[in-house]
Amino acid sequence: MMDEARKAELKDYSDKIGKNNLVPLWDRLKTLVTPEPKSPCQAHLWQYEDIRPVLLEAGHLLTAKEAERRVLILENPGMPGESKITTSLYAGIQLIMPGEIAPAHKHSQAAFRFIIEGSGAYTAVEGEKSYMRKGDLILTPNGRWHDHGNEGDEPTFWLDGLDIPIVQFLDASFMQHHSEETHEHVINDGDSLARYGSGMMPMDFEPVSNTSPVMKYPYDRTRENLITMKEAGNPDPCHGYKLMYVNPVDGKSAIPTMGAFMQLLPKGFDSSAYRSTDATVFSVVEGTGKSKIGDKTFNWGPNDTFVVPSWHYVQHFANDECVLFSYSDRSVQHALGLWRQDRGNR
């Protein structure tokens, strides 16, 4: 043990060098290099029944054009004021009303839209117009013009997932507004899926980025694949039946900074405990159940959103046949050689 005189001497030393913007590593090492992940991110559940009415209220307070994007941010209670759902990811629920247009812009941040309610609305990316249906995943690669509109007769809601905190951390954010409300819509819905998402590629295709060239991953195809997996074999004890959305060019994550997944939990399925270093955001597509995250248990139903922090054990318990969408920064961690999992003998 260090005596009080030594402590005082070291404090005086730290105070002295601090005037030159120097800090002793021995004062900080335990917080800089931790034995296990230590994050301010907290497990939390957002119930859709709480979000929907207040977001509709916002729909009567300002237009999509006035707001630019009419979104309620899902802010993690462990990081108030930071607009983050995990330390590296952003999440929000967006609403577009019938007849509205959310004007075209582009930015350094990559995004996806996971549709939770409504039909008749669309996202257009660089002229390709993708119509929305529940469970669809629509990509917005970074640096591409995109706008949203609603040609239907009902409000449409979706989960926005973006890598804002990653881009913010790297000080690499740029944004630009289009001179018109919408970028010219010149490519039909489903064009990129037909060209790149069917196990074939156009001759002499040269990718322009490491983001998937497929703009929309329709839910009906994704669910059909999950059912085929279910019919072919037993579920994984931790995940049930789980698929990753991939870039068909290289088989890697559809968006380089965000991994996106869909899983099916059979009725009555109780998963084994599982943890990984990628904090993960879940959106419930179908069914009801509960998830135990650390020492907390959350009951969920359709369109609810919940977050599992890094290196926290999670177990899922399905009342019905359930389908869960999720996303995380796993692709970044894989690229950097940092990702770990524990399939947990807990």
Supply the DSSP symbol for 296: E
Q: Scanning the structure block, which residue is given the tokens 């001759």?
A: 203
Strand order in the sheet with 259-265: 44-46, 305-308, 280-286, 322-328, 259-265, 241-244
Domain count for the chain: 1
**DSSP-assigned states of every residue in 186-232:** -B-TTHHHHHHSSS---TT---SSSS-S--EE-HHHHHHHHHHHHHH
pTM of this prediction?
0.95
Handedness of CA 100, 104, 105, 109 (dihedral sign): positive
Phi and psi at 280, nearest 5°, equal -130, 135
Identify the pLDDT of residue 312. 97
CATH code for the domain of 85: 2.60.120.10
Contact 292, 315 (CB under 8 A): yes
Residue 37 falls within a domain, yes or no?
no
Residue 27 falls within a domain, yes or no?
no
Instruction: Please tell me the total number of residues recorded for the chain in this structure.
Output: 346
Rounded CA separation 240/244 (Å):
13
Rounded CA separation 194/237 (Å):
34
Contact 156, 115 (CB under 8 A): yes
Residue 19 falls within a domain, yes or no?
no
Residue 61 falls within a domain, yes or no?
yes
Identify the pLDDT of residue 345. 60
Residue 271 falls within a domain, yes or no?
yes
**DSSP-assigned states of every residue in 114-164:** EEEE-SSEEEEETTEEEE--TT-EEEE-TT--EEEEE-SSS-EEEEEEE-H
Start-to-end C-alpha separation, the chain? 36
Range of the domain at 135: 44-342
Q: Residue 140 has which token pair?
A: 């917005």
pLDDT in tens, the chain (346 residues): 788 999 999 999 999 999 999 999 999 999 999 999 999 999 999 999 999 999 999 999 999 999 999 999 999 999 999 999 999 999 999 999 999 999 999 999 999 999 999 999 999 999 899 999 999 999 999 999 999 999 999 999 999 999 999 999 999 999 999 988 888 888 889 999 999 998 888 988 888 889 999 999 999 999 999 999 999 999 999 999 999 999 999 999 999 999 999 999 999 999 999 999 999 999 999 999 999 999 999 999 999 999 999 999 999 999 999 999 999 999 999 999 999 999 976 5
Residue 18 falls within a domain, yes or no?
no
**Cα dihedral angle (254, 324, 280, 240), rounded to 10 degrees?**
-90
Rounded CA separation 330/346 (Å):
23
Query: In 3D, which of 35, 33, 13 has the Cα closest to residue 24?
Result: 13
Residue 164 falls within a domain, yes or no?
yes
Residue 5 falls within a domain, yes or no?
no
Identify the pLDDT of residue 204. 87
Rounded CA separation 326/323 (Å):
10
Rounded CA separation 152/139 (Å):
21
SS3 of 80, please?
coil
Q: Scanning the structure block, which residue is given the tokens 């790149």?
A: 196
